[in-house]
Structure 1
Amino acid sequence: MNEALKEVLDLLDLEQIEHDMFRGRSPEERIQRVFGGQVAAQALVAAGRTVPSGKNVHSLHAYFIRPGDPAVPIVYDVERVRDGRSFSTRRVVAIQHGKAIFTMSASFHIEEPGIEHQASAMPAVPAPETLPTFQEQITALVGEDHEQREWLARPRPVDARYVSPLVWEAHLDPDLRSAETNVWFRFDADLPDDPLLHVVLGAYASDYTLVDTVLLAHGLAWGTSDIMGASLDHAMWFHRPFRADEWLLYAQESPWAGGARGLARGEMFNASGELVVSVVQEAMIRTTLSRNRR
């Protein structure tokens, strides 16, 4: 287990400071704002700790309201909206400096039988073991002497293997631009058999690459002077149990962008081709041109 993954697992071990109130911290690194996937994952941990055993999260709907400050802890206030026989509903507000920075509603459901079908098919893509790691790919692209190479190639908790071009590649080559992208990912360690932990890590990873699909269609890339972006809202539906320490294919597409916003949606498949998670996210995306107009 690399140090980056150890730190994420430590960040998810929230401190309970009051009844239905928890405190989480952020990594000790120089970043402008807290990673959205971290806030969503910590909020889901807080909600899950208040739910009766036997119920698993099946959906969440979240809004990113303000940038998170990585220098101070985040307080998660959980409201027990309802506990029924089959479903439990929770609302979580993440608070910093006395203001809400994030809100989430999450629903939990007992396991019960029902009708089944799967219309979505996993894309035919190369196996993850045949693909380079993100660190290998980005180092080959930007070179050893690039000013951002150290930041881009630093160890990450998620082992991501890109089937599709990176946004930085599409930024340089217009022929690589597309509104679709496929990425294999897993947390490269033997994790405990805790269903909530695997769902939480899936939520954490879901925010890594989804907005990239919007940028990829336009040849925009993070770290360049012509782009500024931030997540606005995020929704997930968890269809089947899965393990975050096993390979998952994240098939993503951007059906629309406009008005300084972009929509992206994704589907996560396990190695057997079963659809395990569906995701939709909208992000604010401002280019140099749109910022100059405001």
Structure 2
Amino acid sequence: MDATLQYLLDLLDLERIEQDIFRGASHPSVIPRVFGGQVAAQALVAACRTVEPDRLPHSLHSYFLRGGDPGAPIVYTVDRIRDGRSFATRRVVAVQHGQPIFHLSASFQLPEDGLEHQEPMPPAPDPETLPDGEEVLRRYADRFAHPAVADLLLEARRAVDLRYVAEPPFATPGRRREPRSQVWFRTNGKLDGDRDDPMLHICLATYVSDMTLLDSVLLAHGRGGWSVGDVVGASLDHAMWFHRPFRADEWLLYDTDSPTSGGGRGLARGRIFTRDGQLAVSVIQEGVVRVPREESA
């Protein structure tokens, strides 16, 4: 297994410090706050640790309350809201330095059969035909606000093979495009043995889901993002619905778009498809999207 993937798996393997109380470490951040996908994934791991293993998450709804400190552990407290015959509900609060930084509610369900339909998978080139994330970051390193940003971004994403279908926002600052983005992703290594757990695949997809979701907002306005320095941004809330089984170590298409932005906020929607066209996950997020003060003055 790739060492960086092992590091990510260790990051998601929370320490139990008391019943329904867990502690997690943080990945060194490119910006002075914890990556939102990490907090969401760890909070979901904490919730999963308190339900029967035959119940899988079918949805989560969360709010980012404060920027997390990458240099301090995060404590996750789980409330067992309800355990029904088919569904279970958990509430998780993430705390640092005595203050809540993140709040998550998750619902779990016993698998069952039901009516089936879905939107078709949009067209996308095969992931093997696309450059890997390292090649793309190196190609546009001179666009970043600081020379070290490309290296830091690469380090943060190295556990995941993430491939852009079209040029990412940081490649074309100043050029407005359709507010839609696509990436293929999978973990950099197979999950087998005791790591091959459906809940872990779901938590890994939760981790990745916050990486490129707001790109579609940036594309609509020709903004390159915080790494270029023409936007100040942060995730505000994050919701996911898990529809069908999938594997995070096999190619998944993340298709996102933005229906609107305004008031210093942007809304983005995402759909995650398996390679054979199954709609596995739906995602919605609103984030802060502001121009720098000197530009808006």
- The TM-score range, normalised by the shorter chain, is over 0.9
Summarize deviations over 1:232-290 as a string: whole Å, max 9, x none. Answer: 00000000111000000000000100000000000000011010000000001110259
Give the letter for the 1:244 counterpart.
A
Give the letter for the 2:32 counterpart.
Q
What's the counterpart of residue 209 of structure 1? 212
What's the counterpart of residue 219 of structure 1? 222
Contact 2:130-2:164 within 8 A present in 1 as well: yes
State which drifts further: 94-103 or 150-159.
150-159
Summarize deviations over 1:116-148 as a string: whole Å, max 9, x none. Answer: 111x11111110000000110121223599713
TM-score (norm 2): 0.93
Cα distance between partner residues in 1 of 2:228 and 2:203:
31
Among candidates 252, 264, 268, match of residue 248 of structure 1 = 252
List gaps (5 residues or longer) in structure 2. none
Cα distance between partner residues in 1 of 2:239 and 2:30:
28
What's the counterpart of residue 102 of structure 2? 102
2:283 alignment partner, SS class: strand
2:172 alignment partner, SS class: helix
What's the counterpart of residue 82 of structure 1? 82
Aligned length: 290
What's the counterpart of residue 123 of structure 2? 124
List gaps (5 residues or longer) in structure 1. none
Among candidates 162, 170, 173, match of residue 160 of structure 1 = 162
RMSD (Å), alpha carbons: 1.9
Cα distance between partner residues in 2 of 1:153 and 1:144:
15
Summarize deviations over 1:54-94 as a string: whole Å, max 9, x none. Answer: 11100000000000001111000000000000000000000
State which drifts further: 221-230 or 261-270.
221-230
What's the counterpart of residue 185 of structure 1? 185
TM-score (norm 1): 0.94
2:39 alignment partner, SS class: helix
Cα distance between partner residues in 2 of 1:219 and 1:18:
48
After superposition, where does 1:46-57 map in structure 2 within 5 Å? 46-57=46-57
Cα distance between partner residues in 2 of 1:31 and 1:288:
16
After superposition, where does 1:253-292 map in structure 2 within 5 Å? 253-288=257-292, 292=296
What's the counterpart of residue 195 of structure 1? 198
Summarize deviations over 1:76-114 as a string: whole Å, max 9, x none. Answer: 000000000000000000001111100000000001111
Give the letter for the 1:158 counterpart.
V
Change (3 A) 1:94 1:153: closer
CA shift for structure 1 position 35:
0.4
Summarize deviations over 1:172-217 as a string: whole Å, max 9, x none. Answer: 5x26x22001100000211132000000000000000001111121
Cα distance between partner residues in 1 of 2:197 and 2:77:
23
What's the counterpart of residue 41 of structure 2? 41
Matching of residue 60 in structure 1 with residue 95 in structure 2: no
What's the counterpart of residue 232 of structure 2? 228
Change (3 A) 1:220 1:144: closer
Contact 2:30-2:152 within 8 A present in 1 as well: no
Contact 1:58-1:107 within 8 A present in 2 as well: yes
Matching of residue 141 in structure 1 with residue 126 in structure 2: no
Cα distance between partner residues in 1 of 2:143 and 2:33:
27
Cα distance between partner residues in 1 of 2:152 and 2:115:
47
Contact 1:260-1:290 within 8 A present in 2 as well: no
Change (3 A) 1:290 1:218: farther
Cα distance between partner residues in 1 of 2:286 and 2:63:
10
State which drifts further: 255-264 or 3-12.
3-12
Cα distance between partner residues in 2 of 1:115 and 1:180:
30
Change (3 A) 1:115 1:189: same
